[in-house]
Amino acid sequence: MSNLELFNDIEVSTLYFEQLASRRGFRAIAGVDEAGRGPLAGPVVAAAVILSDDFDLPGLTDSKKLTEKQRVRFYPQIRQQALAVGVGVATVPEIDRINILQATLLAMQRAIGRLSLSPDHLLIDGITPLPVEISQQTLKKGDSRSLSVAAASVVAKVVRDRIMLSLDRQQPGYGFARHKGYGTVQHRQAIAELGPNRHHRVTFAGVKEHLEG
């Protein structure tokens, strides 16, 4: 069993995978993560982050383990300290056309493509590799095990939350600012009463049942 396989399922230092890749000769290691796979509305957003050698943000971890206030505080600090940050979005029509998994991979590829520094190795949250010609490793629960993936998770979450706040202003009545498109009781009630709008994923259960015709 290789070191990569040995450490893929256990908790290790948040910089272990970056350091391992560095010892293998890689110099621009990007953590990649997404936000918004599960919601009933809004896009899926991905981020790619390449950390600097002196990156130092104590307490940074998986965005889901942070409060909104903590994520908002970390976001500009990540932008300032990272060597490069890229953000990619897959739209609601794309999600409905190619499915959420493929849309997530597309958003990740777009995020990588928007990095100002070309990565030579990727650390990807999850179990699905990207169809790109770049060395890569998938990491189960990577956002809590890799600092660069954690940084990407925060960037993706903050950007997506801001998008949902904008959609709330465009389409009031659904509560996007509160639930960010997730299938809360309040959101499902709004869909049942008002019907889906153009920001809803019409192929998702919880939305498609309420389509006219």
Which residues, in sequence order, are bridge partners of residue 189?
none
Using alpha carbons, list the distances in angstroms from residue 90 to 7, 79, 166: 31, 21, 16
Q: Is the pLDDT of residue 145 over 80?
A: yes
Tokens of 42: 């809004």
Q: Is the pLDDT of residue 212 over 90?
A: no
Q: What share of the chain is helix, strand, coil (3-state, %, to 5)?
A: 45, 15, 40
| Residue 104: its H or E element | helix 100-113
Q: In what order do the strands lie in the sheet with 44-50?
A: 84-90, 44-50, 29-35, 121-125, 135-139
| Residue 49: its H or E element | strand 44-50
Tokens of 77: 């600090």
Task: Round the average pLDDT of the chain to a whole number and report it.
Answer: 93
Residue 139: name the closest of 54, 12, 1 by CA.
Answer: 12
| Position 15 confidence tier, pLDDT thresholds 50, 70, 90 | confident
* CATH architecture of residue range(s) 3-160: 2-Layer Sandwich (3.30)
Domain map (residue ranges) of the chain: 3-160
pTM of the shown model:
0.93
pLDDT of residue 213: 58
Nearest-angstrom CA–CA distance, 13 and 22: 15
Q: Which amino acid is at 133?
A: E
pLDDT of residue 12: 41
| Rounded to 5°, angle at Cα 114 from 148 and 104 | 70
Using alpha carbons, list the distances in angstroms from residue 82 to 48, 135, 165, 194: 10, 20, 26, 43
Tell me if 107 sits within 8 A of 45, measured CB to CB: yes
CB atoms within 10 A of CB 114: 15
Q: Is the pLDDT of residue 9 over 80?
A: no
